Chains A and B, each alone.
Chain A
Amino acid sequence: MSVRSEPLVGSARPARRAASLGVWLDRQSVFSWLMMTPPLLFLAALVGYPFCYGILLSLQDRPVAHIGTFVGLKNFMTDFKDAIFWRVTLNTFVYTAIATVLKMVGGLALALAMNQQFPMKNLVRALMLLPFIVPTVLSTVAWMWILDPAFSVFNWFLIALGVPKPGPSWLGNPLLAMGSIIVINTWRGLPFYGITLLAGLQTVPPELYEAATIDGAGGWQRFRYVTLPLLQPIILIVTLFSVIFTFADFQLVYVLTHGGPQNATQLFATYAFDIAMGAGQLGLGASVALTMLPALALLIVALTIYLRRG
């Protein structure tokens, strides 16, 4: 026994230390931080760092592959004097506003339709998601053909109705080009709205509809006073996401028009990319991209406050 007692005493210390480490780790405050640290580091590295670096770049005269010099807000002043920049700002707001409204109204209609009983409901719901699933670049190439006057199904239809050949130039006319990219963005974003609102619709308790019907409410009144108020928080969240995505849209314009004709479809993201990558002016490009921030931030703050209050 005495022979064994020595090592026992010796090994008791690390065992106790391990036990206390275990207890320490088990503490809620410690454990929760331990679990949160990796995602926080991840966020800091992949979102925080580029964001701060972007701000730093926007304050520098920084040609690619050259050392930058601090110039304060000069890049922003240059942007504000640039007529194209204001065109881009207007384009981005028009594009985002119209596309978001169309997606909201269309998405709600889609969700209401999908919430009805009809044959092969599940298959139709799955198919509805296709525009959202297909990679943007791929679907944009398909649209490129659809909007080419020589091959366009729209032009074929219009010419059959008597419009003179070759019919409208969808991407050559500034107004039609903006209209076209809004329609494509809506087409692509509709399923996101539709499926999210559909999920929301399915959580509305049927008793509420029954009660409203008993009280004498018609179809429109049930929608206006039961469905819409209950869907409101979901509509807000989807709109928030949609505005952010649409505002910063890049691929669609880059592939389809590259901002043409004469900058009629140029958006913040594509313009910033051209300046930063095409012209190698990283500072100026960053400043264009950053001007998106205040508008988006205001919107996000407003929506968040509204949601919390609700």
Chain B
Amino acid sequence: MHATSRRRFLELAGLGAAATAIGPRPAAAQSKSLTFLHESSFIKTFDEYFQKTLAPAYQKETGVKVNYELTSVGSLPTRISTIAETGSGADVTMTFFLLPFLFDEKLLDVSDIAEEAGKKQGGWYDSAREAGIVNGKWKVVPFSNIGQLMNWRTDWFAEVGFKKFPETWEELYEAGKKLKAKDHPFGFELGHGFGDNHGWIYPLLWSYGGHEVEADGKTVVIDSDETARAIDFARKFFRDTMLDDVLGWTDVSNNKAFFAEQISCTNNAESILWLGKRDFPEIAKVTDQAQNPAGPKGRFHIMSAISHGIFNFSPQKEEARAFLRWLTDEKQLGGWYASADTYYQPLLHGYDKAPMWDVEPRNIPYRDALANAHLLGWPAPPSRHLAESVAKYVIVDMFAKACAGAPTKEAIKSAEVQLKEIYRAV
């Protein structure tokens, strides 16, 4: 009996395996379909617009079904890595920040689509070229920026005599000192988040004339008087205007602090005002947005571009191209932008006066900021070395260390040692 049951078990197990192997499989490509990878949007209506309006419209027009695959917020780099490494999983993908430069060898040249869109829709912003062109070829078609600007409380600023947002960092510092004395400190992230720290630290460094690497992409120039001045400013800015806790903040922290009415000013995407209007209308009424302040060398913003690219291992390159060309057409783009108000700021001049900017005039600084927005690491071209510097928080931690008490020279020195090691092989 014992023996029979063992044998019976093996037979059954074998049968099971065989059944799985030869069982019915999904019929291969009954109708044509494309997979379009996107990270979940903070604005729900944005994803819904694609799913309910754009995808059905494309299917109706061409018969090609577009599967809009959403990854959770923050998981896009991991997902793209998996797809690029295995050579399957999506045809068209969203990219952001430095991803087009890390994955350029796996992306098709889409210069024709990008140039055509530029010609038809008013021309590209310079920052779009910075974000989309890798070694002379457009590897992605830029879609938008998600700008990082100043979010501030008009009521509290007015209490200390500021009816308008300060024009320079020094003036902002003066306002902040008064506001902190009135228990309304500032909250600018100095921790290991992703957007809200870079959103003000790089622009601050640039506006004092500091850079981490030269435009040649290999000469480390972080040790300069300009950097030292930016750090000295950041130290007093932190000490006299901010909460100590910002040193440990991540990207969620400043939103939380703003709505808890703990802070009077921060650097963030449009999401604070957007969420305020929905959930905290009283706070939203006294919230405004402004461009980053200017320093001795000008005014700067970061470019956190979202773009779309096509994987070169896609078995349906031509279908993917056709889809991306269709998506980049004014008819489709306009509606998609409008579905998220102006959370996604178009990088084509054709949209500079689009009606979506009239919906909320307080968002207009996000459009104006595009004129002086740059990718992290500017003026060096994006590279894997730059990606390493960003992932290791070299610049953020240089400022954070100084704000926490380290001497300026020491903070710069340790950043320089790290950068030289990172750029050694170039």
Q: Do A and B come from one complex?
A: yes
Of the listed stretches B164-172, B188-196, B218-226, B279-287, chain A binds B188-196
Residues of B within 8 A of A86 (CB): none
**Cβ-based interface call for B333 (8 A):** no
Q: Do the beta carbons of B6 and A31 come within 8 Å of each other?
A: yes
**Cβ-based interface call for B153 (8 A):** no
State the CA gap A260–B418 with chains docked (Å).
17
**Cβ-based interface call for A52 (8 A):** no
**Cβ-based interface call for B423 (8 A):** no
**Cβ-based interface call for A49 (8 A):** no
Residues of A within 8 A of B404 (CB): 174, 261-262
Chain A minimum-CB-distance residue to B189: A260
Q: Do the beta carbons of A173 and B248 come within 8 Å of each other?
A: yes
Partner of B387, one of A166, A171, A256, A278: A278
Partner of B247, one of A83, A144, A169: A169
- Interface hub of A22, A25, A172, A258 (most chain B Cβ within 10 A): A172
State the CA gap A173–B3 with chains docked (Å).
67
Chain A minimum-CB-distance residue to B253: A148
A255-286 toward B: CB 8 Å interface, digit per residue (1/0)?
Answer: 01111111100000000001101111100100
**Known interface pairs A82-B418, A261-B404; A278-B247 also in contact (CB < 8 Å):** no
Q: Do the beta carbons of A83 and B418 come within 8 Å of each other?
A: yes
State the CA gap A257–B193 with chains docked (Å).
8
Residues of B within 8 A of A169 (CB): 243-245, 247-248
State the CA gap A63–B3 with chains docked (Å).
54
**Cβ-based interface call for B40 (8 A):** no
State the CA gap A148–B10 with chains docked (Å).
58
Chain A minimum-CB-distance residue to B256: A148
Q: Do the beta carbons of A261 and B248 come within 8 Å of each other?
A: yes
**Cβ-based interface call for B257 (8 A):** yes
B223-259 toward A: CB 8 Å interface, digit per residue (1/0)?
Answer: 0000000000000000000011111111011001100
Residues of A within 8 A of B401 (CB): 262
Chain A minimum-CB-distance residue to B261: A150
**Cβ-based interface call for B7 (8 A):** yes
Where chain B touches its partner, the secondary structure class is helix
**Cβ-based interface call for B388 (8 A):** yes
Q: Do the beta carbons of B6 and A171 come within 8 Å of each other?
A: no
Q: Do the beta carbons of A63 and B102 come within 8 Å of each other?
A: yes
What is the distance, in angstroms, from A262's C-beta to the closest C-beta of chain B? 5
State the CA gap A259–B192 with chains docked (Å).
7
Q: Do the beta carbons of A172 and B246 come within 8 Å of each other?
A: yes
What is the distance, in angstroms, from A251's C-beta to the closest C-beta of chain B? 13
**Cβ-based interface call for A149 (8 A):** yes
State the CA gap A177–B244 with chains docked (Å).
13
Residues of A within 8 A of B257 (CB): 150
What is the distance, in angstroms, from B187's C-beta to the closest C-beta of chain A? 10
Partner of A260, one of B192, B390, B392: B192
Chain A minimum-CB-distance residue to B388: A279
State the CA gap A174–B403 with chains docked (Å).
13
Residues of B within 8 A of A171 (CB): 191, 245, 248-249
**Known interface pairs A65-B105, A172-B244; A26-B3 also in contact (CB < 8 Å):** yes
**Cβ-based interface call for A291 (8 A):** no
**Cβ-based interface call for B317 (8 A):** no
The size class of the interface chain B forms with chain A is 35 or more
What is the distance, in angstroms, from B12's C-beta to the closest C-beta of chain A? 14
Residues of B within 8 A of A66 (CB): 105
Residues of B within 8 A of A259 (CB): 192, 393
- Interface hub of A257, A262, A274 (most chain B Cβ within 10 A): A262
Q: Do the beta carbons of A64 and B81 come within 8 Å of each other?
A: yes
**Cβ-based interface call for B120 (8 A):** no
Interface size for A (C-beta < 8 A) is 43
Q: Do the beta carbons of A166 and B243 come within 8 Å of each other?
A: yes
Residues of B within 8 A of A81 (CB): 421
Q: Do the beta carbons of B77 and A277 come within 8 Å of each other?
A: yes
What is the distance, in angstroms, from B221's C-beta to the closest C-beta of chain A? 20
State the CA gap A280–B80 with chains docked (Å).
11
State the CA gap A130–B257 with chains docked (Å).
29
Q: Do the beta carbons of A257 and B6 come within 8 Å of each other?
A: no
State the CA gap A275–B191 with chains docked (Å).
17
Q: Do the beta carbons of A278 and B77 come within 8 Å of each other?
A: yes
Residues of A within 8 A of B191 (CB): 171-172, 257-258, 260-261
State the CA gap A260–B193 with chains docked (Å).
8
Partner of A65, one of B81, B243, B246, B414: B81
**Known interface pairs A25-B10, A173-B247, A260-B247; A64-B400 also in contact (CB < 8 Å):** no
**Cβ-based interface call for B135 (8 A):** no
State the CA gap A261–B387 with chains docked (Å).
20
Q: Do the beta carbons of A150 and B260 come within 8 Å of each other?
A: yes
State the CA gap A3–B401 with chains docked (Å).
99
Chain A minimum-CB-distance residue to B98: A280
Chain A minimum-CB-distance residue to B81: A64
Residues of A within 8 A of B81 (CB): 64-65, 277, 280
With contacts A173-B247, A259-B192 known, what are 10 further pairs, Cβ within 8 A? A22-B7, A65-B84, A83-B418, A144-B252, A169-B243, A174-B404, A261-B191, A261-B248, A263-B393, A280-B81
The contact sample of 29 A-B pairs, CB cut-off 8 A, is A22-B3, A26-B3, A64-B81, A64-B84, A64-B103, A65-B84, A65-B103, A84-B392, A148-B256, A150-B256, A150-B257, A150-B260, A169-B247, A170-B248, A171-B248, A257-B192, A259-B192, A259-B393, A260-B192, A260-B393, A261-B190, A261-B192, A261-B400, A261-B404, A262-B397, A278-B387, A278-B391, A279-B390, A281-B388
Residues of chain A touching chain B, judged by Cβ–Cβ distance below 8 Å, are: 22, 25-26, 31, 34, 63-66, 78, 81-84, 144, 148-151, 166, 169-174, 177, 256-263, 274-275, 277-281, 284
